Structures are given as C-alpha cells and as structure tokens.
Amino acid sequence: MYTAEMRELIKKVEATRPERLGHDYSRMTPDERDQVLKKYHPDYRASGFRTLSLGANEGSKVPLELADLLEAKSRLENVNLDLTKVDYDVDVLIIGGGGAGASAALEAHKQGAKVLISTKLRMGDANTMMAEGGIQAADKPGDSPAKHYLDVMGGGHFTNKKELVSALVKDAPGTIKWLNELGAMFDKEADGTMVTTHGGGTSRKRMHAAADYSGAEIMRVIRDEVHNQGIEIVEFSAAVELLLDKDGKAAGAVLYNLETEEYAIARAKTVILATGGAGRLHYQGFPTSNHYGATADGLVMGYRAGAELAFADTIQYHPTGVAFPPQNFGALVTEKVRSLGATPVNIDGNQFVFHLETRDVEAAAIIRECADKNKGIETPTGVKAVWLDTPLIELIHGEGTIEKRIPGMFRMYKKFDIDMRKEPILVYPTLHYQNGGLLINEHGQTKVENLYVAGECAGGVHGNNRLMGNSLLDILVFGRRAGSHAGAHSKTVEGKALSLDHVKKYHQSLKNHGVKTDRISPMLLPHYTHGRENDK
Amino acid sequence: MSDKEMVDIYILGKKYPVPASLTIMDSMEYAGYQLVRGCGCRSGFCGACATVYRIKGDRELKVCLACQTKVQDGMYLTQLPFFPGNKETYDINELEPTADTMGRLYPEIYKCIGCNSCTKGCPQELNVMRYIGYAQRGELEKCAHESFDCVMCGICASRCPAGITHYQVGLLARRLTGKYIAPESKHLTERVNEMEAGQHDESIEKLNNKSVEELTELYNARDIEK
C-alpha cells in the first residue's frame, strides 16, 4: 500500500532503529513544554476563535465553528408544537446513548426512577465505543488516588475544578470493580493482577485495558445491562431543544425522529445531557477521530437553556491520527501504541520528541516538526505526517505483542495492506476531544435547576487538557453520579407546565445583540461530500 | 471532471460514478446521501455499517463494513441498517457460567448445521462458528476470547440458517467470563475497601487545599514509574 517513495523513506527509519532502541529521548522541561504549546498548539491560534456576543459566557472565546452554532436559531423557530400533548412522561430523561448516558440510566433506574434514553443514532453509537487505550484508576500497590489526582491536575495545567478531580479519582477503583462485576473483561495476569500501562503524563502505570477494544468492551457490556434492566430507549431520535418549566427549571426535551421527521415531547422531572463531544465540527479544518454524531448538540441546547460553558476554548488534538492511508484519515491511533514503545520519527529517521509527553505537547511537537522544521513526510493526498515507529513494539515486548495488545489497530492497517508489525505508520494530530463543556458540580448538576450533564458534554474535570484514560473514567464516574442524583432528586420534583420561552428569549437576544443569521442548530449530523463539487 | 480514477457503483440499484480511492461509506456520501442509518464510528469499532454487496457479473453475495472497505468497479451495494437479532434478557447476578446457561438462554446454538456462513461473513475475521462450538460445550472462557473482537454488526446472524444471534451468544459468554471465570483482582478489591473506609480522603483533601504553586511544585518533582 505504501508508495515507492514512502518505502524508500522507511529505510531511513529502519537504519536508525537499532540506535534508538532502548534509548529514551529526553522529556521536555516545563519551559520547553510551555513554548511549544504557545507556538504550535491550535488552541493558541487566535484566528480559530471568536468571542460570544450573548448568553451565560458572553465575551468569552470559543472555536469559530462552535460560536456559529451557539449563535444560531432553533430548529423550532417556525414549528408549532402543542406542549401539552406529551409523548413520553418519565422521571429522568437521558439525552445520549453512549457511556455516560448508559451508566446514568443504570443508576437512575436503581434509584427507582422511570428512565427514558433518547439517542440520535443507535444506543451505544458514541465516542465511548471507539475509545481504545484504556481507563485509569489507582488501584495497584505503589499507586494512590492522590498520585492520580496530581497527574490529572498537572495534565490539565492546574485549571481543573478540584472537587471534580477529587470525585474522579476517588470513584475510580470502585468504577473498575463495578464494570468487572458486570462482566467486563479487563486484561489480567493469571493471578488476577490487572495488566496496566502508562499513558502520556501519568506517573504510574494505571491504564486498565481490554486489548484496544477498551471502550467497545465497556459500552457493549453496559448497553447489554441497560437492555437487561428493561430501560426504555428511543433510537434515531435526537433532542433538538430542552424544555423548561415556567420557573426556568429543566423539564424535558423536544425529540426529533430523524426518519419520519416528526417531533415528540418528552416530559421529565430531571434531565441529563449526555450528548458527547464536538469533533465533527472539524475545528480549524482538522480531521477527527470522533463518532459521526459528535456535533456538540448538548452544548447548544444547554447553553440556550442558560447553562454555563467551561473551558470551551480548549480542544484536544490527539497527537496520533491516521495520516495514511486516506481511507482511514483522521481515525485514531491509540496512545497505547506509544505506551507500548512506538516513538515518533521524522523524515530523516530521527526521533524529535519524547513519545509520552502529554497529548497537547506531543501534538504541538508533531505540528512543529511538519510545519516549521519541514521534516514531515508528504502523503499522496498532500497531507504532511511523521512516522510512528511501531516495529519497535515487537522488538521491545516480543513478537506477537501487536496482535495481542492492539488487535484493532493491527486490523485497521492490515485492511489496507500495511503491516504495522514490520513497517512504521504515518500519523498527524487529529481532533479528538472536547476538554471543556457545560460546567457541572460533583453531582453533575448545572446552574439550571434539574439539568444535569455527564460525559464529554460536561466541563471542568479535565481543565484545559485531558490525560489518556480519564475520559472513559469520567463518563462512568459522572454518568453514575448524575444518574444517581437525578434519579433520587426526581422524586422531589413536581411536574409543571412545559415551556419553550427560553428559546424565544434566545432569539430575541440574538436580535438585540445584532447577530444576523440563518444558521440553525443543533447540527445533528454532518454533511460530507468528499470533494464532489471539485470533481465536476 | 478531475483526473481521479473513477469507478461505477450501484447504490440500491442506481448507478453512481465515484473516486476509486473512497471507502463504501464515503462513496455513498460522495453520491449525495446523508447517512442516518448505517453510519457510526467510521473507524471499524461500532458495527453500524454492515453492508451486503455483489460485484457485477459475479453471483456471490459478499458482506463487509462500509467504513473499512474500498469501493470496486461494478459494486452493487445495500446496507444492513438494522437486523432483528434476538437478545435474551437476564440477571447476570443469578447466572452460572455453564453450558446449561447458554443452552437455556440461546438453545438455537445446538441447531448449528456447521455451514460456516457466520465465519465467512465476519468482517473482523473471527472464527464465529468455532466460538459457537465453544458455547455449545460450555467452554465459556474460550468462547469469550475467540469472540472478543466482535463489533456486533450482525452480519453473522443475517447469514445463519439456524437463527443463531452469534454476537449475543459471544457477549453473554464474555460477561460470564469477566464476572465469574477470570481471576479476582485482589489489589482492586483491597483498594475499593480502603476507599470505602475513607483511608484516602485525607491525602486528597490535602491536595485540594494546596495552591496552584504548591501543586505545580509537587507535580514537577513527582517520581515516575519506569
């Protein structure tokens, strides 16, 4: 599959491999990290952002593409809905069927609440399913929740909300145990010891994995459990607007059947937004490793209803996205590949950065290598990339390691005739994660009463950078916390008349602030054409 | 028209010229479809895009994941947006990891006629028939490992003359293995007990009370496991 030119360049990687094997490239100093971030990380590119002119975060900067959706009109602007005709009447409405939504549903159900999950695509179709590398928890001797805490804070550049970090690390071991008791198959030694590895920026090997199907394994188990518990699910039904009661408290949502194009009214005592991330907005033109449905819908609906955004200007670009073959462009090359020992190498076969810096630093260093130092490898589609020297893994850990520990990666490349056991792969940063989101407290509550947020749609846990393995942890810890709290709290809430007045007010506010727009949000699904226009 | 190499594909019988470099999924979008069903993670992990195709002139029906397969000239395509496979509900806490459990919940596994259509169809190249054999014999751990990379796309079930929903059988075997057969992680149990006893609350509280400067200092000086 590699072109003849690429195969020539691979010889340079092979030539330097023996001298690189077993020699650690030095880590950056705090100052060096700071410099490379400021100069090369996309979050520092002013042209990618603009300030919001209205709403709870008026005056703060967010990515242009997100600003466009936040400063847009509702899909319901010219739709007449009878809000007294209720199609679903439940205690807890969960919007989103990924890991956060599913775990929230299980806990709310356990509280005796009547739960409905509405999801835009299929139950389980979410970024959770695609998480490969693993989930962090400090459960081994020599590690501690306090060490985990310090790693999370340092990774987030000490901007994280402390009470959320505290909840995250405290609930982590219990979360792994919960999964284990549901039957999730973690990688273990024969005596039961969890097989754990490092992630970028971790001080202990605390990454638990299920090969490189970690997220898929977790998702398929908790989805199965949601089915077993008989929790009601309505698929291919995207929420398009939250419903509030006359006191401004969350009280349900308007759902949109993507196939029949009909609206339905879901009334609830409490609402949990678990809609995931925003990768499909393709900030600054980056490709993404995200699920097709990751279009920031929850941020849009929550913001309109008055919830506050936190860290919306910080995005995670995963350092290693697929740069070649083009069929997998932007797909994730799990960090586990580097955890196992693969290192980034430039066109001359030289390593240019330590392979386990935090993701933001690693990504910035790769961008510097391609953009500034001009040491990237150009692919046939014109994309610049660097090598990730994967054959090192088998040299370090023995033959067969790649097939055993990262079978998904191996399969993905093999389908396009690249054998990552023998040949290095080409990578470039890909838009991976929304570090921020709607601000929550340790129960997942927002400032809008009865509105909870969990998972990638929530903000504050990771500050402005997230470490590998803390997102699978985050969605389960805060999914469960939000579900439990919302389930219990729903019993104290009195159902009131539903209203969309906040949407009308938002439209008025757009006018008052001079925002003239025909844009409609939430986006729901991206529309790709793969360059058809240029081919005609 | 650009100088790209183009091929003709047929989506639900209708012909569209598309660039030969695209995946099936991308080619459908290139043709103008906005996918609602049959499109999920786009990376081969979710199983949403199970697709049936036939190459013009060939009689054999083939199956694949649309996001992981390149288009070919003369490809007749249709997607499998939902396949009505059976899933039994159960209380995992009340099951035993035995052949009896498998047979009670999924008795159709014993109707397998050994045609191997499931294995031939699997886009993950799993030996599906073999893991059903393990399930029949109550070798649940083997069934679990053999089926581990399943993305639950449903292609196996769509091809099975015995009406087996292989991916659900595999999932049950994995959950039973993960819960009952795999050895206990003692360090995990111990740490959870410590957490419940509040043994780590104080150390975390201490960090919570530190300033950013103090935390930064601790962070930069932390020892890192080799």
Cα(A288)–Cα(A294) distance, rounded to whole angstroms?
10
For residue B75, the distance in angstroms to the closest alpha carbon of chain A comes to 17
A70 touches chain B (CB under 8 A): no
For residue A151, the distance in angstroms to the closest alpha carbon of chain B comes to 7
Cα(B130)–Cα(B121) distance, rounded to whole angstroms?
14
Q: Each residue of A203-235: pLDDT tens digit?
A: 999 999 999 999 999 999 999 999 999 999 999
In this structure, the number of other CB atoms found within 10 A of the CB of residue A348 comes to 12
ipTM of this complex prediction, to 2 decimal places: 0.97
Cα(A438)–Cα(A303) distance, rounded to whole angstroms?
8
In this structure, the number of other CB atoms found within 10 A of the CB of residue B201 comes to 13
3 state DSSP class of A171: helix
What is the pLDDT, as a whole number, of residue B1?
A: 45
For residue B205, the distance in angstroms to the closest alpha carbon of chain A comes to 8
Instruction: Check A289 against B151: CB less than 8 A apart.
Output: no
Mean pLDDT of chain A: 96
Per-residue pLDDT of chain B (226 residues; tens, 9 = 90+): 456 899 999 999 999 999 999 999 999 999 999 999 999 999 999 999 999 999 999 999 999 999 999 999 999 999 988 899 999 999 999 999 999 999 999 999 999 999 999 999 999 999 999 999 999 999 999 999 999 999 999 999 999 999 999 999 999 999 999 999 999 999 999 999 999 999 999 999 999 999 999 999 999 999 999 8
CA-to-CA dists, residue A451 to A11, A95, A115, angstroms: 57, 11, 15
Interior/surface letters A168-184, b for 16+ CB within 10 angstroms, e for the rest: bbbbbbbbbbbbbebbb
Report the residue of chain B nearest A189, measured CA to CA: B183
For residue A243, the distance in angstroms to the closest alpha carbon of chain B comes to 25
Report the residue of chain A nearest B64, measured CA to CA: A415
CA-to-CA dists, residue A301 to A122, A240, A261, B37, angstroms: 20, 7, 19, 23
Burial class (CB in 10 A: 0-12, 13-18, 19+), A4: exposed
For residue A53, the distance in angstroms to the closest alpha carbon of chain B comes to 31
What is the pLDDT, as a whole number, of residue B81?
A: 84
Q: How big is the A-B interface in CB pairs under 8 Å?
A: 231
Q: Chain A 270-299, CB below 8 Å of chain B: which residues? A: 289, 291-292
Q: Each residue of A94-152: pLDDT tens digit?
A: 999 999 999 999 999 999 999 999 999 999 999 999 998 899 999 999 999 999 999 99
A183 touches chain B (CB under 8 A): yes
B119 touches chain A (CB under 8 A): no
Report the residue of chain A nearest B4, measured CA to CA: A535
Cα(A337)–Cα(A211) distance, rounded to whole angstroms?
11
Report the residue of chain A nearest B91, measured CA to CA: A228
The answer to whether A23 is a known catalytic residue is: no
Instruction: Check B40 against A527: CB less than 8 A apart.
Output: no
Q: Chain A 312-331, CB below 8 Å of chain B: which residues? A: 326-328, 331
Q: Which of A34, A168, A185 to mutate to test the interface with B (most CBs of B within 10 A)?
A: A185
Of A204, A217, A528, the CB nearest to B225: A204
B214 touches chain A (CB under 8 A): no
Q: Is the pLDDT of residue A167 over 70?
A: yes
Cα(B153)–Cα(B155) distance, rounded to whole angstroms?
6
CA geometry: angle at A410 spanning A405 and A412, to 5°?
135
The answer to whether A527 is a known catalytic residue is: no
Which residues on chain B are in Cβ contact (under 8 Å) with A180?
A: 178-179, 185, 188
Higher confidence at residue A68 or residue A358?
A: A68
Cα(A263)–Cα(A406) distance, rounded to whole angstroms?
43
Q: Each residue of A495-521: pLDDT tens digit?
A: 889 999 999 999 999 999 999 999 999
User: Which pTM does this prediction carry?
Assistant: 0.96
Q: Chain A 221-240, CB below 8 Å of chain B: which residues? A: 221, 224-225, 227-228, 230, 236
Q: Each residue of A12-58: pLDDT tens digit?
A: 999 999 999 989 899 999 999 999 999 999 999 999 999 999 999 99
Of A151, A169, A182, the CB nearest to B92: A182
Instruction: Check A528 against B208: CB less than 8 A apart.
Output: no
A142 touches chain B (CB under 8 A): yes
What is the pLDDT, as a whole number, of residue B2?
A: 54
